[in-house]
Amino acid sequence: MTDSQQMTVDSSVHYTNIQDSPFNVAIIGSGNWGTVVAKIIAENTRENPLLFEETTKMWVYEEEFEGEKLSEIINRDHINKKYLPGIKLPENLIAVPDLLEAVQDANIIIFNVPHQHLESIMAQLKGKINPKTRAISCLKGLRVTADSIELLSDLIQDSLGIHCGVLAGANLAQEVAEQRFSETTIAYPLPDDYVPGDVDPTVLYTLFHRPYFHVHVIEDIAGISVAGALKNIIAISVGFVEGLEWGDNAKAAIMRRGLLEMIKFGRKFFPDCKVSSFTEESAGVADLFTTCTGGRNFKLAKTMAQTGKSAHEVEKELLNGQSAQGLITAKEIHTVIKNRGFEEEFPLFETTYQILFHGVKIGILPYMLENKWSITKPNYSS
Amino acid sequence: MTDSQQMTVDSSVHYTNIQDSPFNVAIIGSGNWGTVVAKIIAENTRENPLLFEETTKMWVYEEEFEGEKLSEIINRDHINKKYLPGIKLPENLIAVPDLLEAVQDANIIIFNVPHQHLESIMAQLKGKINPKTRAISCLKGLRVTADSIELLSDLIQDSLGIHCGVLAGANLAQEVAEQRFSETTIAYPLPDDYVPGDVDPTVLYTLFHRPYFHVHVIEDIAGISVAGALKNIIAISVGFVEGLEWGDNAKAAIMRRGLLEMIKFGRKFFPDCKVSSFTEESAGVADLFTTCTGGRNFKLAKTMAQTGKSAHEVEKELLNGQSAQGLITAKEIHTVIKNRGFEEEFPLFETTYQILFHGVKIGILPYMLENKWSITKPNYSS
């Protein structure tokens, strides 16, 4: 464990490595979580003029809301009425509908857009970002294909040629928006071309930490990305158990087994990732806890267990055509595990996959967790 | 992490180290949890005749229930009507009202009595137990005085001169009684005088593991004892946050910080204890989860937060004169921490103590968790 597990940086003290001019910070994305993060950042850029330029730009995908342009509403009323109604934003946060204009002078770019829009945004930015710019991705997780597992932050890093960290944690957006106490984890290893004065853990701590939003900076991007993806499978397993009313012991057992399989998966596919990122970070065990007590994946599975309906049916009825990320992840991770012949080592992930997609009964879970997988391995064909 | 984190022992296979005669097992205690554990054991002694004597004795503190002797009810109806109504017990489980008779031929003794009765039972057994007898304590936790912290299992070990392990986990008794899926942890380092054929992890696994009650055997008694004691303080902190409706992020944050302080405390006072006992065991993170979602300590704190009443008042009104273990532990641990000057390193435990006993406002918690303790250290005098 890290001995001093919470950085304590007092923003009033002198920074030895302070750069000549303050950092300019831009946020790409103004959905629900995007706007909450932008609010936090603008609060901090305003309070730390030695370190940051006060004016903080937030790229807004322009759309109409109640007959007005969303960016104009935000800049006039300082409220994102469409995606974060009722929450006042700092006046130094400026909505900018033009993507390139938003990032033009940025030294630090925060990415916070829906997963499915990331590639198109990368295409628009490609070749137009100074390689010394640093990035933080609030998208976490993995991009899994049959052949490879890639960190989402690597996608940004490789597309734009800029160093990119990750922010993740037990961060239900509305609670953070209302300034209720929360914690988060930022993973940011120093870049190879780091020089004093550059973005470092202290700068990032100062940019994100609030009295109500506590930040811990670590280096392990892979660890928190794996946790961010796999937690959704575990939330499904816990949802099953909740739907069958097996009780708190069983829920705790599933979370524990899920945590262990997460760690095992992380260590197998990203050998440098650290066990403590899973067991001691907000982006690990704490986010697992919040994800397993509510949310879309949990609810889908709970309803499956209660009604006996298939994942597909419940998804259609319950989620209004939206998809539960955990379903996609369960399938992707199954493929990866199966291709490598690792099924026996991940009985929770594999059984969850089978319940979701092959009609296997939930009641088999405890039995499968006894590691008798090899005896009972079914003949499924995908 | 342990790579094979679930032992898989098939009870039908041949034991190389099997002893000449099967182990005789006795259970001391027949309260709610005591009876549930006795049920599990008797199920397993019946199914594993090569390893255990089928007849399993359970010492019952004799009392009257509906005009009959409790031991007679249990032996006739195979139900402990007073402490575990509605649950059928195996017929090979025999209630014995005489303590010495119950343990007379035992090779393995399971202790499962209320904390406050332990000393009197030790006094009755002292000098009467074969030193080769092995014990498992289902009492977990610590005995804290101003000068020392002692493991409860050491108390048994030292009083009777027998080697004693510990069983603990996310084990709400009623759920286990109803055979709903649960897990547990047994900590049992091999004794110094171990010889092949003696009680070992395989024997204990076979004695306790059921399809609905999964067992993991480790060596770290100190780790799970510390977790078993300190979880009750954390449940109080989480109860505060629940009472103020701070939300799931905050609850997850408090549990995470609690887990870290638990580990730090364990490592300071029992340097051999293992981080993984806290982060990966049912007796660690999983039991923390169940304890923080309900139970006496959680409810007491939640009510304090909702009503503004003192711990003492709420205890009187809510618990019918019973005491919340977490209150006692919070005070004991505070004394230990303060005596060593460690307050700054345990802001969650210390702040929880202050809220409980010195009228400090709950709202200060996030601030204290920023590790600004040294600046704001109050002048309290106990």
Phi, psi of A263 (to 5 degrees): -65, -45
Task: Note whether B22 contacts A: Cβ–Cβ < 8 A.
Answer: no
**Second CATH level (architecture) for the domain B25-219:** 3-Layer(aba) Sandwich (3.40)
Question: So which residues of A are the catalytic ones?
Answer: 231
C-beta of residue B73 within 8 angstroms of C-beta of residue B83: no
Helix (H, G, I), strand (E, B) or coil at A133: coil
The bridge status of strand B213-218 relative to strand B182-187 is: parallel
Pairing of strands A163-168, B25-28: unpaired
Which residue of A237, A256, A375 is the best one to mutate when testing the B interface, meaning the one whose CB has the most B CBs within 10 A? Answer: A256
Mapping DSSP to helix (H, G, I), strand (E, B) and coil, where does residue A281 land?
coil
3-state secondary structure of A210: strand
Reduced to 3 states (helix: H, G, I; strand: E, B; else coil), residue A333 is: helix
Distance CA B146, CA B149 (A): 8
Under 8 Å between Cβ of A210 and A197: no
Tell me which residues of chain A have a pLDDT lower than 70: 1-20, 321, 371-382
Round to the nearest angstrom and report the end-to-end CA distance of chain A. 40
| Contact state of B180 with A372 under an 8 Å Cβ cutoff | no
What's the rounded Cα separation, in Å, for the pair B382 and B377?
14
DSSP string, A83-98: TSTT-PPPTTEEEES-
Write the CA distances from A149 to A152, A165, A266, A381, B259, integer angstroms.
9, 17, 11, 22, 31
CA separation, residue B239 to residues A103, B48, B79, B232, B256 (Å):
44, 43, 35, 10, 14
Task: Give kind and range of the element (H or E) at residue A346.
Answer: none
Q: Report the pLDDT value the prediction gives residue B268, as an integer from 0 to 100.
A: 95
Which residues from B are below 8 Å from A282, CB to CB? 252-253, 256
| pLDDT on residue A286 | 98
List A residues 293-352 in contact with B (Cβ-Cβ < 8 A).
Answer: 293-294
State the first-to-last Cα distance of chain B, in angstroms, to the nearest integer.
40
CA distance A215 to A198: 19
Q: What is the DSSP letter of A319?
A: S
- Can you tell me the distance from the alpha carbon of B266 to that of B67, in angstroms, rounded to the nearest whole number? 48
**Does the CB of A363 have a partner CB in chain B at under 8 Å?**
no
Residues 6+ apart with CB under 8 A from A47: A11
Give the mean pLDDT of B139-152. Answer: 87
From the list A175, A214, A250, the residue facing B370 with the nearest CB is A214
* Token pair recorded at residue B374: 């040294």
Chain A residues within an 8 Å CB radius of B251: 289-290
At residue A19, the pLDDT reads 58
Beta carbons within 8 Å of A17's beta carbon, 6+ residues apart: A196, A197, A200, A202
Which of B171, B237, B279 best tests the A interface by mutation, with the highest count of A CBs <10 A? Answer: B279
CA distance B246 to A181: 7
Chain A residues with CB inside 8 Å of B264's CB?
1, 3
CB contact under 8 A, B279 and A282: no
Q: Which two tokens stand for residue B12?
A: 């039908």
B256 interface with A at CB cutoff 8 Å: yes
Per-residue pLDDT at B185 exceeds 70: yes
pLDDT tens across B76-87, in order? 999 999 999 999
In this prediction, residue B139 carries a pLDDT of 92
For residue A323, what pLDDT is reported?
79
Q: Are B85 and B94 in contact (CB under 8 A)?
A: no
More confident residue, A309 or B374: A309
Rg from Cα positions in chain B: 21
Q: Enumerate the residues of chain B whose CB falls inside 8 A of the CB of residue A289.
A: 248, 251-252, 255, 289
Chain B CB contacts of A4 under 8 Å are 371
The response to whether A228 counts as a known ligand-binding position is no
Chain B, nearest residue to A9 by Cα: B370
Over residues B167-177, the mean pLDDT reads 97
Please give the residue that has the higher pLDDT: either B3 or B229: B229
At residue A148, what is the residue type?
S
Each domain of chain B, given as residue ranges in start order, spans: 25-219, 223-370
- Name which residue leads in pLDDT, A151 or B20: A151
Average pLDDT over residues B236-265: 97
A34 among annotated binding-site residues: yes
Say which of A212, A280, A290 has its CB closest to residue B366.
A212
SS (H, E, C) chain B: CCCCCCCCCCCCCCCCCCCCCCECEEEECCCHHHHHHHHHHHHHHHHCCCCECCCEEEECCCCEECCEEHHHHHHHHCCCCCCCCCCCCCCCEEEECCHHHHHCCCCEEEECCCHHHHHHHHHHHCCCCCCCCEEEECCCCEEECCCCEEEHHHHHHHHHCCEEEEEECCCCHHHHHCCCCEEEEEECCCCCCCCCCCCCHHHHHHHHCECCEEEEEECCHHHHHHHHHHHHHHHHHHHHHHHCCCCHHHHHHHHHHHHHHHHHHHHHHCCCCCHHHHHCCHHHHHHHHHHCCCHHHHHHHHHHHHHCCCHHHHHHHHCCCCCCHHHHHHHHHHHHHHHCCCHHHCHHHHHHHHHHHHCCCHHHHHHHCCCCHHHHCCCCCC
- Nearest by CB to residue A176, choosing from B249, B260, B275, is B249
Fold of A223-370: N-(1-d-carboxylethyl)-l-norvaline Dehydrogenase; domain 2 (1.10.1040)
Sequence-distant (≥ 6) Cβ neighbours of residue A115 within 8 angstroms = A139, A141, A152
How confident is residue B19, by pLDDT bands cut at 50, 70 and 90? low
Q: What is the pLDDT of residue A363?
A: 93
CB contact under 8 A, A279 and B290: no
Q: Which of A1, A211, A372 sits opposite B367 (nearest CB)?
A: A211
Instruction: Assess contact for A169 and A175: CB atoms under 8 A.
Output: no
Mutate to test the interface with A, among B205, B249, B288 (most CBs of A within 10 A): B249
Cβ atoms of B166 and B187 closer than 8 Å: yes
Q: Is A137 annotated as a binding residue?
A: no
User: What's the pLDDT score for residue A382?
Assistant: 35
pLDDT of residue A378: 44
pLDDT of residue A115: 86
Q: Among A216, A234, A226, which residue's Cα sits nearest to residue A275? A: A226
Cα dist. B148→B142, B151, B335 in Å?
10, 10, 11
Task: Say if A190 is an interface residue toward chain B (CB within 8 Å).
Answer: no
- Span B267-323, pLDDT tens digits: 999 999 999 999 999 999 999 999 999 889 999 999 999 999 999 999 999 877 677
pLDDT digits (tens, 9 = 90+) for A253-299: 999 999 999 999 999 999 999 999 999 999 999 999 999 998 899 99
Q: Which two tokens stand for residue A154?
A: 């690597």
A–B: how many Cβ contacts below 8 A? 177
Residues in A closer than 8 angstroms to B36, CB to CB, are: none
Taking the CA atoms of chain A, what radius of gyration do you get in angstroms?
Answer: 21
CB atoms within 10 A of CB A269: 18
- From B248, B287, B370, residue closest to A290, measured CB to CB: B248
The verdict on a CB contact (< 8 Å) between A366 and B181 is yes
| Per-residue pLDDT, B165 | 98
Q: Is the pLDDT of residue B7 over 70?
A: no
Which of B39, B57, B82, B231 is flagged as catalytic? Answer: B231
| Percent helix / strand / coil, chain A, rounded to 5 | 50, 15, 40
Q: What is the pLDDT of residue B10?
A: 38
Residue ranges at the known binding site of B for NAD(+): 29-34, 173, 296, 325
- Catalytic site residue B69? no
Chain Cα centroid distance, residue A290: 13
| Nearest-angstrom CA–CA distance, B335 and A379 | 60
A282 touches chain B (CB under 8 A): yes
Residue A170 has its nearest CB partner, among B3, B211, B252, at B252
A297 appears as a binding residue in the annotation:
yes
Residues A270, A332 contacting (CB under 8 angstroms): no
Distance from CA of A65 to the nearest CA of B (A): 30
Q: Is the dihedral of CA B335, B341, B345, B350 positive or negative?
A: positive
Structure confidence at residue B55 (pLDDT): 98
With beta carbons less than 8 A apart as the criterion, state whether A299 and A239 touch: yes
> CB of A194 within 8 Å of any CB in chain B?
no
Chain A contact present for B171, CB below 8 A = yes
| DSSP H or E segment with residue A37 | helix A32-47
Residue of chain B whose alpha carbon sits nearest to that of A290: B248
Interface subset of A 233-252, CB within 8 angstroms of B: 241, 246-252
Mutate which of A279, A282, A293, A351 to disrupt the B interface (most B C-beta within 10 Å)? Answer: A279
Q: Is-contact B298 B239, C-beta < 8 A?
A: yes
* SS3 state at A359: coil
- Smallest CA-to-CA distance from B48 within B86, B13, B99 is with B13
